[in-house]
Structure 1
Amino acid sequence: MEDLSFIIGLIGNVISVLVFLSPASTFWRIVKNGSTEEFDSLPYICTLLGSSLWTYYGVVKPGEILVATVNGFGVLVEAIYVALFIFYANKKMKKKTGILVGILNVGFPAAAILGTRIALEGEAQIDSIGFVCAGLNIIMYGSPLAAMGTVVKTKSVEYMPFFLSFFLFLNGGIWAFYAFLVSDLFLGVSIH
């Protein structure tokens, strides 16, 4: 069973990498046009938050190196996306995005990591960060709703990338199966 879970985890890593890279064409467009246009930064900020905390979870939980490595890659990619977004956004959007990054990508992860490191040990530490990650992932999967608002407003699916939706669907399925194989409730609840 351990070999099967490792293989499924590797497949999950490949699909997760595709999820992280699927907005690359959007950011190529932003760089090429020199503008963030009608794109919203919230999905990228939320993904960076989730990836940061899942990296921490994968590091503190024994045997979850696959979760840590792929989310570490996600932190790098999402940080690049957020930096590009801030660089090319208009003044009002830069301010909004900067505030959100400060709160959600610096303040919240720091508080969660420090809080669990200082106050808890062993399984309690792992369980508490897993609980936070699972809850945030459930919320994070709602962040595409911000893009849906733009889709409705513009009457165009241009701002809801197909490949992102497709790879998120595959990602949820493969990580749910992995969670079942390794009996990790937190990965399963969040459909990482």
Structure 2
Amino acid sequence: MAISPAVLVTVFGLLGDIISFFVCLAPIPTFVRIYKRKSSEGYQSIPYVIALFSAMLWIYYALVRKHAVLLITINTFCCVIQIFYISFYLFYAPKKEKTLTVKFVLFVDVFAFGLIFLLTYFLTHGIKRVQVLGYICMVFALCVFVAPLGIIRKVIKTKSAEFMPFGLSFFLTLSAVMWFFYGLLLKDMNVALPNVLGFIFGVLQMILYMIYKKPGTKVLEPSGIKLQDISEHVVDVVRLSSMVCSSQMRALVPQDSADMEATIDIDEKIKGDFVKIKDDK
């Protein structure tokens, strides 16, 4: 029994929603790490700002196009979670990164989206508005997939995949596959085409992760220095400092003959201990 295209569209749309849900949650380990370190230094906010902008555009596109409820549901959730990520990043970001992120959010998510909304709403109508919005969404969907290029460059430069979570790359690749077939069956190339690039970048990120993944390493004690040697040197320094201090005190404080003899006895004892330590070593 053949499955109708409408059923396949719904199936791939639901799978796309489910996997995209996990894509949205994939950065959580990154933010757990930021919370533990109490600093977002080393991470970038650009992918989350662009992802928020893209989700806002797709909601607008789905509302204008109509009959695209699955696009509305997942992108609404994406908006909420990206706002949370950006807020969390700002809380732990250094002052410079915090300022840049705020400026970027205002420019992209407020000014750019507002401009697109006003121009398409007042200057285009009907099918023309759908086409224009579709092209814009396609361009910025490509930007979402291109945004991790900065992280890819950093991974290659540092030869470390610390700042590129594997889970995010994996779910992005699966999501790209599902949304490609969803757009293809729906005959909406604005949805299908960007996900071809998304699939390519997702596979590339996973390959780089496997190449540059580094197992956890322990901080080893240098072989040439032993803890026992360090402790003995500390003892020597402490005893030597007491000898110097006692000599300085004798020079500064007048002493009678009894005190002088007691001090000499103490000094001799300290010197004897010092020579004994040296002999033992």
Per the shorter chain, which TM-score range?
A: over 0.9
TM-score where L is the length of structure 2: 0.66
1:147 aligns with 2:151: yes
Match of 2:99 among 72, 95, 101: 95
Letter in 1 for 2:33: R
1:23-102 equivalences in 2 (<5 Å): 23-102=27-106
The answer as to whether partners of 1:42 and 1:146 remain within 8 angstroms in 2 is no
Ranges of 4+ aligned residues in structure 1 off by more than 6 Å: none
TM-fit CA distance, 1:90: 0.3
Partners of 1:94 and 1:115 in 2: CA distance: 30
TM-fit CA distance, 1:139: 2.1
Residue 187 of structure 2 corresponds to: 183
TM-fit CA distance, 1:34: 1.5
TM-fit CA distance, 1:25: 1.1
Residue 8 of structure 2 corresponds to: 4
1:13 aligns with 2:5: no
TM-fit CA distance, 1:67: 0.7
2:41 aligned counterpart, secondary structure? coil
Match of 1:161 among 160, 165, 175: 165
TM-fit CA distance, 1:152: 3.0
CA distances 1:55-75 after superposition (whole Å, capped 9, x unpaired): 111111111111111011101
1:118 aligns with 2:122: yes
Partners of 1:59 and 1:43 in 2: CA distance: 24
Query: Per chain length, whose mean CA-contact separation is higher, i.e. which structure has more relative contact order (CA < 8 Å, sep 6+)?
Result: 1
The answer as to whether partners of 1:38 and 1:150 remain within 8 angstroms in 2 is no
TM-fit CA distance, 1:40: 0.7
The answer as to whether partners of 1:147 and 1:160 remain within 8 angstroms in 2 is yes
Letter in 1 for 2:193: V
TM-score where L is the length of structure 1: 0.96
Letter in 2 for 1:45: V
Partners of 1:182 and 1:15 in 2: CA distance: 19
Partners of 2:160 and 2:89 in 1: CA distance: 21
TM-fit CA distance, 1:35: 0.7
Which stretch shifts more, 142-151 or 72-81? 142-151
Q: Percent identity?
A: 34
CA distances 1:160-180 after superposition (whole Å, capped 9, x unpaired): 110111111111111000011
Letter in 2 for 1:61: R
Partners of 1:67 and 1:122 in 2: CA distance: 19
Partners of 2:15 and 2:30 in 1: CA distance: 25
TM-fit CA distance, 1:149: 2.8
Task: Select the structure of larger CA radius of gyration.
Answer: 2
Residue 174 of structure 1 corresponds to: 178
Unpaired runs of 5+ residues, structure 1, are: none
Letter in 1 for 2:46: L
TM-fit CA distance, 1:18: 0.8
Unpaired runs of 5+ residues, structure 2, are: 199-281
CA distances 1:49-102 after superposition (whole Å, capped 9, x unpaired): 111111111111111111111011101101110111111100000011111111
CA RMSD in angstroms, aligned pairs only: 1.2
Residue 139 of structure 2 corresponds to: 135
Letter in 2 for 1:116: T
